[in-house]
Amino acid sequence: MTMMKKLKMTAAVLALSTTSVVAQEVEVLHWWTSGGEAAALNVLRENLAEGGVGWTDMPVAGGGGSDAMTILRARVSAGDPPTAVQMLGFSIQDWAAEGSLANLNALAEEQNWDEVVPEALQRFSTYEGDWVAAPVNVHSVNWVWANTALMEELGLEQPESWEEFVAAMEAAQDAGYTALAHGGQAWQEATVFDSMVMGVGGPEFYQDSMIDLDPDALGSDMMVEAFERMDTLRGFVDDNFSGRDWNLASSMVINGESLFQIMGDWAKGEFVNAGLTAGDEFQCFRVPGTEGTVMFNSDQFAMFEVSDDSAQEAQLAMASAVMSPDFQVAFNMVKGSVPARTDIPSDDFDACGQLGMAQLAEASANGTLFGSMAHGHANNPSVQNAMYDVITAHFNGEFDAETAAEELVLAVELAQ
C-alpha cells in the first residue's frame, strides 16, 4: 500500500470527507532553507499535494531556528498561528505548557506511535501524556564530515583520537588548506562544543554538566579542558568564518577547500545534494573521543491549536504523512538524518545513514543517547541561550578557557 493510500485511509477513519480533503491547506513555518534541506522538505510537500493538501510555505533562514521562533511568537501573539511549525525539544514543551498545541492522540493511537517512536523522542513529542507533535527524524550532532580526496592527498587515515584529529588538521593547514570549515554563529559553536564536552569527560560528565547543570561540573577542570579544545579548533578555521552559514561551511569540504567540518548529520544532505556518495567522495565518522555516544535532536512538526475545521483536518493529514514509513525513508535519505521510527530497515540508506541508524540503536540500548545541549534537547531555551553566549564569546576571544568555565557557571545560574 502506498503512503498516500495510507493517508487517505487514515482520513477516512477520521471521518474526513473527500470534499474537505481537497480544500485542505497547511501553512508551514520552518527553517529548512539550504539546498539539501529544501530537497528533503519537497518530499513532504509533494506527498501532500498528491493527496489534495495545499502547502503555504513560510521559510525563515537560520539553521538554529531562533529567528523562526521569534516570528512564531509574534504570529501567536497576534492570534494568527501557522497550522504547523518545525520545532525542537524543549520549545515544544514550552508551547504545550501554554496550551497552544493541538492534541494528536486519536491519530497517534490509530497509528501506534507509542510502539514505534523511541522513548527519548516521545519525551518531546508528548506533553502530560498527550501527543502534540509528529517527529520527522533523529539527527545526531557529533559527526565529522571529511573530503576523501584531501585525506588521500595528505596520506591521512580516519583519526581515532583527539591527538590524531589535531595532527590531521595540522597536516591540512601546512598544505595550504582550511583544516576546519566552520561558520561563526552561536549555535554552530555550541554544536562543536557538545562534542568537546563529551570527548573530554564522557557520558557521565555530559550528563552532569549539560543536562543536570551541576555547578561543580560546569566550572570543573574538565570544562576548562573542553574550552581549551575549542581554542585549538579556533586555530584551524579560516579568517572569514564569522557569520558564515553552516551549509556554506559544508560546501568548503564538498569543494575540496577544507578537510573537515564538525556538524550534525543534516550536513550530509548537502553532500548528497551535490551528487557525492558517502564512503566514496566524502567520509563520516564520530568526533574522536565521542565514539559510542550519540547526542541527538529531533525535528518535529508541532500542530498549533486552530479553530478552522479545514485547517484541523489538514494538520491531521500532514501528521499522518510525516509518520508514514514511506515518507520517513524518502525524507531521511535526502535530509541526512535517520527515521524517527524504530521499525524501518536500513537497507535503502547509504553508508553514513546505515552507520547512523546502527549507532543510534546501540546508544539507545547502552544508555549513551543524550539530548543535545546545542539543539534544545538538554535544557530549556533560557539555559541554552545562556550557554550560547558564553561559548561563542570564548570562541571569539572574549574569555580564556578558565574564565569561560567560570562565566558558564554564572550564566546558567542566572538563567534558571
Domain positions in the chain: 3-138+298-352, 143-295+369-415
* Paired strand residues for 139: 297
d(CA 81, CA 87): 14
Strand, helix or coil at 155?
coil
Q: Residue 224: which residues within 8 A CB-CB, separation 6 or more? A: 401, 402, 404, 405
Residue type for 185, please?
Q
d(CA 377, CA 341): 18
Report the predicted TM-score, pTM, of the whole model to 2 decimal places.
0.85
pLDDT of amino acid 41: 87
Residue 249 · residue 178 · CB < 8 Å: no
Q: Can you name the CATH fold of 3-138+298-352?
A: D-Maltodextrin-Binding Protein; domain 2 (3.40.190)
Per-residue pLDDT of the chain (416 residues; tens, 9 = 90+): 444 444 443 443 333 333 334 458 899 999 988 888 888 888 889 988 988 889 999 999 876 788 899 999 999 999 999 989 999 899 999 999 999 999 999 999 999 999 999 888 999 999 999 999 999 999 999 999 999 999 999 999 999 999 999 999 999 999 999 999 999 999 999 999 999 999 999 999 999 999 999 999 999 999 999 999 999 999 999 999 999 999 999 999 999 999 999 999 999 989 998 999 999 999 999 999 999 999 999 999 999 988 888 888 999 999 999 999 989 998 898 888 999 998 999 999 999 999 999 999 899 889 999 999 999 999 998 999 999 999 999 999 999 999 999 999 999 999 99
pLDDT of amino acid 11: 40
Q: What is the CATH code of the structural domain delimited by 143-295+369-415? A: 3.40.190.10
d(CA 296, CA 110): 27
Strand, helix or coil at 369?
strand
d(CA 346, CA 80): 40
For 182, phi then psi, to 5°, come to: -150, 150
Domains 3-138+298-352 and 143-295+369-415 share a fold: yes
Show the beta-strand stretches assigned E in 16-117.
Answer: 25-30, 54-59, 84-88
